[in-house]
Structures are given as structure tokens and as C-alpha cells.
Structure 1
Amino acid sequence: MNFNEYQKAANKTLRGNEQVLTNCALGLGSETGQVVDLVKKYTFHGEELNREQLVKEMGDVLWYLSQIAEWNNVPFEEVADFNIKRLNKRKDAMLKD
């Protein structure tokens, strides 16, 4: 499945139609916090990093992010492509120094 296919498939699971952007932005923050919490507990509390839980929470982050993109008519693949190009430019600039 490519990014755009995921975005469209994820959109079929979206419920409600009012304040979608706000709901998705708040959900993204919440789910990102859950990923951060798993890493914090692993790093500082000596807990095992539960891969299954990490994958679940990362999937939730991906869902909310894809729906923010969908709401703004931004193909998810465009976001990924733009990001890689920007990172490569940054890497190339660092290598020149």
C-alpha cells in the first residue's frame, strides 16, 4: 500500500464531519504523546519497549496525520516526497561543510 492509498483507506474510517481538523490535530498531539511516553518509560524507567504497542500508537499517529492532509487536499505522498527532498538537501549541505 502506498501513502495515497493509505490516506484514502483511512479516510473511509473517519467519523463525524464537524471540526474535523481540530479533532485530528488534537488526536495527533495525544497519540504522539503516547509514543513519547513509551520511549520515556523505556529510556528512563527501565521498561521493555513493547513493539506491538509502539506499532499501534505509531499507526494512530499516521492515521491522524493522514486525515489532516486529507482535510487540506494534500496527497500524503506529496508530503513524504517533499520531506525526503528537504532532508536530502540538508544532508548535502552538511556534507559540504
Structure 2
Amino acid sequence: MEFNEYQSLANRTLYGNEQVLTNLSLGLASETGQVVDLVKKYTFHGDRLNKDQLTKQMGDVLWYLSQVAEWADIPFDEVAKQNITKLNHKYPNGKPAK
């Protein structure tokens, strides 16, 4: 699936009022926190990494991020392309040196 296609399909489920950007931003922070919590529990509490739960939470982060871009009239493909360009510039040889 292409990013712009995802963005369009995800937008079908967006609802809200004039404060939709605030709602999206708070939702993005909340869902990101849930991803972080799963990683924290795996790393520091010895829990097994529940990949199904992690995938679901990452999907929620993706939805919110795509809708922030939609609200700002930014094609989601453009977000991905600009990020790869930035990473290629920052790390021209691939992974950063250790």
C-alpha cells in the first residue's frame, strides 16, 4: 500500500470539530506513549515483546500521523520522501558509525 492511499483510506474514519488538529496531536502523543510503554516493559521489566500489540499500537500512531498530514494538506508520500532524503544526507554511508 502506498502512503497516500493509506492517508486517503484512513481519512474516512476521521471525525471532529474545529479542534481536530489538537485532537490528532494529543492522540498521536498518547498512542506513541503506548508504543514506548510496550518497549519499556520489554526492556526493563522482562516482559515478552507482544508483536501483535506493538503492531496495533504502531498502526494507531500511523493513523494519527497520516491525519495530521491530511489536516495540513501534506501528501503522506511527501512526508516519507523528505524523511528518506534527510536520512540519506545525514547518513550517506548508511547506518551511523558506532
SS in 1 for 2:43: helix
Distance verdict in 2 for CA 1:5–1:64, change over 3 Å? same
Runs of 4+ in 1 over 3 A off after TM superposition: none
- For residues 94 and 53 of structure 1, the distance between their equivalents in structure 2, rounded to whole angstroms, comes to 30
- For residues 32 and 19 of structure 1, the distance between their equivalents in structure 2, rounded to whole angstroms, comes to 20
- For residues 46 and 63 of structure 1, the distance between their equivalents in structure 2, rounded to whole angstroms, comes to 29
Aligned to 1:71: 71
Matched-pair identity in % = 68
With 22-31 and 12-21 compared, the bigger mean Cα shift is at 12-21
Please provide the CA RMSD for this pair: 1.5
Distance verdict in 2 for CA 1:59–1:94, change over 3 Å? closer
2:16 is the alignment partner of 1:16: yes
TM-score (norm. length: structure 2)? 0.92
Give ranges in structure 1 of 5+ residues lacking alignment.
none
Per-residue deviation, 1:92:
1.9
SS in 2 for 1:92: coil
- Does structure 1 retain, via aligned residues, the 8 Å contact 2:10–2:67? yes
Q: Which has the higher helix share?
A: 1
Per-residue CA distance 1:44-91 (angstroms, 9 max, x = gap)? 000000000000000000000000000000000000000000000001
- For residues 52 and 17 of structure 1, the distance between their equivalents in structure 2, rounded to whole angstroms, comes to 32
Per-residue deviation, 1:94:
8.7
SS in 1 for 2:41: helix
Letter in 1 for 2:76: F
SS in 1 for 2:92: helix
Aligned to 1:38: 38
Tell me the matched-pair count. 95
